[in-house]
Amino acid sequence: MRRAAALLALAGFAGAGGLALSAVGPSRRFQSADLRCAFTLPRGWEPAPQIGYPRVLVLANAPDGARLDLVVQPVGAGTSAITLAADARAALVKLGFGDLRVSPEADERVTHDAARLEGRGAGGRTLLRQEYLVDGNLAWVLTVATPASRPARVGSEFLDALLALEITPTATGDRSGLEQPASAGLPDAGAP
């Protein structure tokens, strides 16, 4: 479980880390029946060169240096989004991120099991927002990392990107009995 969350957090960070990559082409829409999702890149973002991680579905850049990525990962039965986000928080702390907060998603338009992780990169120059969504045996993580001088990228623009993610639910949709981390009920997971 923690390994899956760490991989999700690290893949999201790698996509948001400004890696030099080769071009992916002009498509602004990603769709996969196998991964039960579709995503249309919001305005203001351009497709970025794809890296060699098979779980990274979408990479995009904004002119101001912000990065957006969408990652998918298989998860075990009963895994909750809040658990994944809390576990990823620990991995991000080790990478130097701080002021990390984990909370359940409050926006009623998000209809899947979802949790949000927010924080700052080392030195406070980068803002990070991640949304962890779980349905059945898959988890999707949407990450936006932006210069601290552009907080709108992790505000309204993040919400636009989140709402552009379409997930086809599993047939059961039953999320009862989900695993909850000890820190899930805390309003602020706090700094390391």
Q: What is the pLDDT along the chain (192 residues), one digit of tens a residue?
A: 444 444 445 444 443 333 222 223 457 888 888 999 999 998 888 898 877 777 889 999 998 889 999 999 999 989 999 999 999 999 999 999 999 999 999 888 998 899 999 999 878 899 999 999 999 999 999 999 999 888 877 788 888 899 999 999 986 544 443 343 433 333 333 333
Ordered structural domains, the chain, with CATH = 2-19+44-170 (3.40.1000.10)
Contacts of 84 (CB under 8 A, 6+ apart): 4, 5, 8, 75, 115, 132, 134, 139, 141
DSSP designation for 53: -
Q: What is the pLDDT of residue 6?
A: 44
Structure tokens at 24: 């992916």
